[in-house]
Amino acid sequence: MLTIIQIPVLTDNYIYVLHDSVSGETAVVDPALAQPVLDVMEAKDWQLTYILNTHHHWDHVGGNLELKQKTGCQIIAAQADWARIPGIDSCVVDGDIISLGQHQARVIETPGHTSGHVVYYFAKNQELFCGDTLFVMGCGRLFEGTAEQMWTSLQKLKALPPSTQIYCTHEYTQANGKFALSVEPDNFQLQQRMIDVAQLRLNNKSTVPSTIGEERATNPFFREDSRSLQKKLGLENQSPVSVFTELRKRKDSF
């Protein structure tokens, strides 16, 4: 069994602690801060084995060096980011497999938000740790990559099984959903989902994880083939990349 603990930090970040109960190995995904992770290790009497970084931004790697110093863990991150992520021990590329006890994660390269972004997909568990590539009803800003790169990256994730759990690293859901409604106001599933999201946030509860199936139904960045969305944008019968590019442009100024 893979135990997943979600730790809210900063304003809207999530850190994920993953623990394999058989081997006792533990990994943390994108530790913005060290102390909240150390607190979980102490409370659970776990030993940190790995850090899995998705990309180089400070709010995903800020705890790397302190955690490595205090636990002796190994830091795994993208080959493309070897010079930008502090403390890397092992560099990975697309298709590499990482083992956490009996659980295996496939590395998928997803450039767009940054040029070296990767995600970690546990196929057997159908769990995806996707950093800032995919959000609930949204996707990451294009800081280093092109719209075409990000669209291609998202297509890789969209093709995963519908029941795949999406563990993104920010609580952006309510704002993302408002934008989604602005470009697809007649989407009934989206309308209903926003009601659920509002209730969760009212009770200060996380909206993460989502699933690939839910995102296919409600995330505009997975819905470039929606006729109603295309019509709203004035981009009927345009290429998927053109629709995505316009969506991302509008979201940036929403």
Q: Please indicate, yes or no, whether the overall pTM of this predicted structure exceeds 0.85.
A: yes
- 170 labelled catalytic: yes
Q: Where are the domains of the chain?
A: 2-175+206-223
Residue 48, C-beta contacts closer than 8 angstroms, at least 6 positions apart: 26, 27, 28, 37, 41, 67, 71, 73
Find the mean pLDDT for residues 123-140. Answer: 97
Q: Give the 3-state secondary structure of residue 172.
A: coil
pLDDT tens across 5-15, in order?
999 999 999 99
User: What length is written for the chain?
Assistant: 254
- Residue 161: CB atoms within 10 A of its CB come to 11
**Annotated catalytic residue, options 19, 55, 56, 103:** 55
**Annotated catalytic residue, options 19, 56, 113, 117:** 113
- 19 labelled catalytic: no
- 55 labelled catalytic: yes
Establish how many alpha carbons lie within 13 A of residue 54's alpha carbon, considering only the half-sphere containing its beta carbon.
32
CATH of 2-175+206-223, one of 3.60.15.10, 3.30.70.1560, 2.30.30.140, 3.20.20.70: 3.60.15.10
Give the C-alpha separation, 192 to 160, whole Å: 24
pLDDT tens across 73-108, in order?
999 999 999 999 999 999 999 999 999 999 999 999
Structure tokens at 106: 């496939």
**Annotated catalytic residue, options 20, 30, 59, 81:** 59
pLDDT tens across 193-246, in order?
999 999 999 999 999 999 999 999 999 999 999 999 999 999 998 999 999 999
Structure tokens at 104: 């295996």
